[in-house]
Amino acid sequence: MQPLDPADPRNPSVQIAASIRAAILNGELEPGAQLPSGEELAKFFGVTRVTVGSAIRSLKEEGFIRSQAGSGVYVRDQATLPMPAGKTHELAGVATFLYEAGHLKNTPRTGWLLLGINSPESVAEHSFRVGMIGIALAALEDADVGRTAALCLMHDLHETRIADVPSVGRAYVTTAVPEAITAHQTADMPHDVADTFRGLTAEYEAVETLEAKLAKDADKLETLLQALEYRTQGYATEEWQRTSIEALRTKTAQELAQAIIAGHPHDWFSAFQASYHELRASAKNRTTA
């Protein structure tokens, strides 16, 4: 940090804030670093603690530092540093897009509401497991695992703007096509990022590549899994099971569907429980040996 300049006409608190700000920006004070105490800063700058306090408040308001009760004042993570006045970050469009994607966590899968399920899974929850299924299918098919997973994660992103329309309602509702929605969602992004997201949507909707077919199948298999889970809760999900299986495109997905149906939603816990007991027994044997 630089001491006060007697020739600087600015208020001392403004100078102090500028000195600490510069130390943060040039790396002298790293993210997470604790600032000297108010008393130490007052002594260093040759001012009162009140003047230092005024500078500290300004830096907090700007997002450079944070207070921790009973501990002190710390430099915030660099990612929280504010942009210069009047400028927009080149990745602002990406950040906005990611906030929008988060809305899927609050968007219910409306088809399950028709069964009387009051709090069905969200679109985001559905998309997460679709991605996991896509990884498995791609590995089994020797397809591009990363691209398949990306297609799975993107497949319902347009629902942030049109919500989730159940299959039985699509004959009554006309919406923009997913490609057009993705184009609007990515309009303010750098071209290379926007082209990536738009390309994924276009590929998924065209269903021409192996990865797109596997992503489509992953979507149906996730619905099958969820239907079987809801069945254990007493809901009549037979129609959801049937339509999911009938829509599968690849033999690998059909084989995985057979395995899913042959199992039970709680099988994973039985295996988990068994491994827990094995680990405990192994630990006990080591301590008594």
DSSP class of 77:
P
What is the number of domains present in the chain?
2
Rounded Cα distance between 109 and 124, Å, is 9
Calculate ∠ Cα 155-144-122, nearest 5°: 25
Q: What is the CATH number of the domain that holds 174?
A: 1.10.3210.10
Say yes or no: 97 and 152 in one domain. Answer: yes
- What digits encode the pLDDT tens for the residues 165-207? 998 898 899 999 999 999 999 999 999 999 999 999 999 999 9
Question: Which domain, by its residues, includes 96?
Answer: 92-266
Q: Are 140 and 165 in a shared domain?
A: yes
Contacts of 212 (CB under 8 A, 6+ apart): 151, 203, 204, 206
pLDDT at 83: 65
110 and 62 belong to one structural domain: no
Band (84; pLDDT cuts 50, 70, 90): low
Residue 214, CB half-sphere, CA atoms under 13 Å: how many?
A: 27
Neighbouring C-beta atoms of residue 126, cutoff 10 Å: 25
**Nearest to residue 108, comparing CAs of 94, 95, 118, 93?**
118
Asked if residue 248 is part of any domain, the answer here is yes
Burial class (CB in 10 A: 0-12, 13-18, 19+), 279: exposed
User: Are 52 and 118 contained in the same domain?
Assistant: no
Q: What is the pLDDT of residue 79?
A: 46
- 285 within domain boundaries: no
| 80, 114, 130 - which closes a domain | 80
Estimate to the nearest angstrom the gap between the alpha carbon of 287 and the chain centroid: 42
Residue 29 lies in a domain: yes
Q: Residue 99: inside a domain, yes or no?
A: yes
Q: In this predicted model, what pLDDT tens digit does every residue of 17-68 receive, in sequence order?
A: 999 999 988 889 998 899 999 999 999 999 999 999 999 999 998 889 998 8
Cα gap 169→110, rounded to integer Å: 10
Give Rg (Cα) of the chain.
Answer: 28
132 and 65 belong to one structural domain: no
Q: Are 121 and 173 in contact (CB under 8 A)?
A: no
Instruction: Supply the CATH number for residue 56's domain.
Output: 1.10.10.10
Place of tokens 């921790």: 68
Can you spell out the DSSP letters for 226-254?
Answer: HHHHHHTTT---HHHHHHHHHT--SHHHH
Check whether residue 153 and residue 236 sit in a common domain: yes
In a domain, 247, yes or no: yes
